[in-house]
A and B are shown apart, each in its own frame.
Chain A
Amino acid sequence: MPVNPDPAADQMWAISCENLSLTYPSGAGISGIDLNFGPGTTAIVGNNGAGKSTLLEAIAGLRTPTSGQIEIFGETPGMWRSRGVHQVGVALQDGRPYPGAKPQALLKYLNQLYGCVQRRSGYPTVEFLIEAFSLTTNTAIKNLSGGELQRLKCAAALVAGAPILILDEPTAGLDPQGRRDLYNVLAQVVPEKSTVLVSTHILEDLEQINSRVIALTSGCVAYDSQVSSATTAFYLTFVSRSNIELSGLRKALAEDVVISEKINGSYSITSELPIDAAFITTVMNFCAQIGAEVSQINVRERGGVLADIENLLLEGGAQ
């Protein structure tokens, strides 16, 4: 799957979520999500009930947000649908669509259906997907094993030929070998420059996905690594009560850095170059100039991300 690039602040995001909330009658859901996604892969991790599926289904246009908004390439889901384009290929976690049909027939029918909308060039053909995902052609969908069903759902999402791909827990119910195999196939068949969101609650999957990682706890973003888990990176985090103008700080640093939005009162700057004393001084001076009081400054190297997420999810699970 494509590795996450570092999107510039002013580019058109593939997906943009602004203050997104979706509350169920039971009270669970997601709350105040501010996230942007450019081309590349992002893993959404979290315990069961953390809001992963809700977030992905809201982005896919399957659930209507209670508040906030979602834009796909600058348009709301209703707008791009009405233009007759299909921007999002989706593999849902639950369900067994058309159980009486056979996989090949389902994919051919979907291929015809998506033939009515604009598809990006280089989308995979049905024959290619059947071979790549090792799909059986003569077994009804109701008789497919869990692994075969997950592979079929991924193939069905890919046949859409959409620039955005959403895979909700594609490895649920698979053994470690099955998970590795699925990610290997996805790495081969997902077109370049796709924006891919993959949810999982299996942290070992992150080693396979090689992506930016976002952790959700209780419906909120608790962690955003900003960069691919395989990229060497250095982190400077600090807490500030004041809101900091990120574009100004980015200019002051004059380096290729990613600065996260404020999460739980904390800012995080990610750099692929080591963070030295001069770097920290620049940040402190900028904050001092705008009167922002800074505390709990922390610098660390890449490598702590998975451990951090694990701790975070364990804490979330213990609550």
Chain B
Amino acid sequence: MIKLRRLFIQTKWEFLLNARNSEQLLLLVIIPIVILIVLTKTAIIGGESTPIATAFATVLTVSTVAAGFTSLAIATAFERRSETLVFLGTTSLTRLEVVLAKSFGSFLLAIFAGLFTLVAALVLGWSPTLGSLFVPIWIALGVFSISGFGYLIAGTLRAEAVLAIANAIFVFVLMFGGVIFTFGTGVTALLEFFPPLALKTVIDFSVSVPDIGYPHVIKAMLVLAAWGIVGHALASRFFKWR
């Protein structure tokens, strides 16, 4: 049985612990803002500067992947190694509450990072749209789509291996996920079936004047939901608490 007050206390604790971590600041705030500036003010990527709305969507996607997968996986793996997870088992929290609090904490981290990015985007000339109000929902869906896989590697591999793999996947997503760099039609069609580009699609739909069709957005939402279900099912099957 989930007790909401307990869940709130645990989520707050998780969020504050992570938000105070300087590595998180680099991963969630500094890197995304640097990417935002590079995309909008230079022609390094793709031979021309990216429109601010698209760049904003790109950076929100990057910080969501950082919070919902990389940061979550590394933090959980090291908590498993320090037996913090077993310690939580001795408290009044249920296992479901522990997992939900971690996911909600990651969502709040992504929103927290998004606020910095929002300020940067406004400074760089982005004009808010009504659809932007839906962005927190897309970030939540994005966290859901990838956090299961974060739990999966955190709960099955050694902490050092998780550190290496989670960072490697993050860099791989930046380079080849179709979020920052664009690829040919065939490759892009394939990447649309993976969470990073699907997430960018739905966020882009909300923060820019949409030239993306609804079927495309609905497909992206279904892709995110499907990855979330598969990831969490695998995690609940294979996750080891110690």
Proximity string of chain B (180-201) to chain A, C-beta cutoff 8 Å, 1 when within and 0 when not = 0000000000000000000000
Contact A101 B5 (CB under 8 A): no
* Residues of A contacting B79 in the complex (Cβ-Cβ under 8 angstroms): 98
Taking CB atoms, residues of chain A closer than 8 Å to B93 are 113
Interchain CB contact (< 8 A) of B83 among A61, A97, A114: A97
Interface segment, one of B9-17, B28-36, B65-73, B205-213: B9-17
Given contacts A96-B83, A116-B6, contact A160 B17 (CB under 8 A): no
User: What's the Cα separation between A84 and B6 when bound, in Å?
Assistant: 11
Q: Given A95-B87, A101-B17, are A113 and B82 neighbors across the interface (CB < 8 Å)? A: no
**What sequence of 0s and 1s flags, for each residue 7-50 of chain B, a beta carbon within 8 Å of any chain A beta carbon?**
00110010001001100000000000000000000000000000
Which residues of A lie under 8 Å from residue B82 when comparing CB positions? Answer: 95-99
Q: Is A186 an interface residue (CB 8 A)?
A: no
Rounded to whole Å, the gap between the CB of B133 and the closest CB of chain A is 32
Task: Say yes or no for A300: interface residue by CB 8 A criterion.
Answer: no
Interface pair A116/B9, CB less than 8 Å apart:
yes
Query: What residue in chain B is nearest A114 (Cβ atoms)?
Result: B92
Interface pair B86/A95, CB less than 8 Å apart? yes
Q: Is the CB of B83 within 8 A of A113?
A: no
Interface residue A81 (Cβ < 8 Å from any Cβ of B): yes
Interchain nearest-CB distance for A256 vs B (Å): 36
Check A113–B6 contact: CB distance below 8 A: yes
Q: Please indicate the chain A residues that have their CB under 8 angstroms from the CB of B87 in the complex.
A: 92, 95, 97-98, 156
B94 at the interface (CB under 8 A from A): yes
Main secondary structure on chain A at its contact with chain B? loop
The answer to whether B91 touches A110 (Cβ under 8 A) is yes
B1 at interface by CB-CB < 8 Å = yes
Docked CA distance A92–B89 (Å): 11
- In the bound complex, CA of A97 to CA of B20 (Å): 17
B167 CB within 8 Å of chain A? no
Question: In the assembled complex, how far is the CB of residue A157 from the closest CB belonging to chain B, in whole angstroms?
Answer: 8
Q: Contacts A62-B86, A95-B82, A96-B82: A160 and B91 contacting too (C-beta < 8 A)?
A: yes
Count of A-B residue pairs with CB < 8 Å = 66
Annotate A92-111 by CB proximity to B: 1 below 8 A, 0 otherwise.
Answer: 10111111110000000110
Size of interface on B: residues with Cβ below 8 Å to A? 23
Q: How far is the CA of A117 from the CA of B88 in the complex (A)?
A: 15
Choose one: A97, A113, A114, A156; the contact of B10 (CB below 8 Å). A113
User: Nearest Cβ distance between residue A311 and chain B, in whole angstroms?
Assistant: 34
Closest residue to A119 on the B side, CB-wise?
Answer: B92
User: A157's closest neighbor in chain B, by CB?
Assistant: B90
A32 shortest CB reach to chain B, Å: 25
> Contacts A95-B82, A95-B83, A95-B86 known; A82 to B1 CB distance under 8 Å?
yes
CB contacts (< 8 Å) of B91 on chain A: these are 86, 110, 113-114, 160
A145 within 8 A of B: no
Given that A100-B17, A112-B9 are known contacts, is A60 also in contact with B1, CB under 8 Å in the complex?
no
CA distance A114 to B82 in the complex (A): 22
Complex Cα spacing A160 to B21, Å: 28
A113 lies within 8 A of B17 (CB): no
Q: Is B237 close to A, CB under 8 A?
A: no
Chain B nearest CB, measured from A61 CB (Å) = 8
Inside 8 A of B94's CB, which chain A residues have their CB? 81
Residue B132 lies at the interface, judged by CB distance under 8 Å to chain A: no
Q: Say if the beta carbon of A90 comes within 8 Å of chain B.
A: yes
* B13 contact set on A, CB distance < 8 A: 109
Chain B 78-113 near chain A by CB (<8 Å), digits 1 or 0: 010011101111111110000000000000000000
A residues in contact with B89, CB < 8 Å: 61-62
* Cα of A114 to Cα of B9 in the assembled complex, Å: 10
Query: Min CB distance, B20 to chain A, in Å?
Result: 8
| Nearest 3 CB-CB pairings of A with B | A95-B83, A97-B87, A90-B90
14 example contacts (A-B, Cβ-Cβ < 8 A) are as follows A60-B90, A81-B94, A82-B1, A88-B90, A96-B83, A97-B82, A98-B79, A98-B82, A98-B87, A100-B17, A100-B20, A113-B6, A114-B91, A116-B6
